[in-house]
Amino acid sequence: QVQLVESGGGLVQPGGSLRLSCAASGSIFNVNAMGWYRQAPGKQREWVARITRGGITNYADSVKGRFTISRDNAKNTVYLQMNSLKPEDTAVYYCNADINRYYGDGYLNYWGQGTQVTVSS
């Protein structure tokens, strides 16, 4: 029922920029915190950024000053603006969200299918 769909990935040169989007759809009462993770081949999935429903943000040290997370609650969508991209940013980027499907229930955590970001010259 609940689905997260990422978009905006692609190939970019070092120093370039990309903007990722992730929209939640389906049976949703409320979307709480949302975030982005990434996973490079042969490496563990790592946390990148998080944003609460009220707009409080947190970033991994590796992306601070370069990435900006934002959201549009009316659209149940989270964004990740990525600037000054480096080859080490190359990974599959996954959207993550805590979602209440019904009033009074606790949240469940959902993942998107991922979108490939490749930074290479």
- Residue by residue, pLDDT tens for the chain (121 residues) are 899 999 999 999 999 999 999 999 999 999 999 999 999 999 999 999 999 999 999 999 999 999 999 999 999 999 999 999 999 999 999 999 999 998 888 899 999 999 999 999 9
Q: Give the 3-state secondary structure of residue 114.
A: coil
Q: What is the rounded distance in angstroms from the CA atom of residue 28 to the CA atom of residue 26? A: 6
Q: What does the longest C-alpha to C-alpha distance in the chain come to? A: 50
At 105 the pLDDT is 82
Residue 34's beta-bridge partner residues?
51, 97
Sign of CA dihedral 1, 31, 107, 40: positive
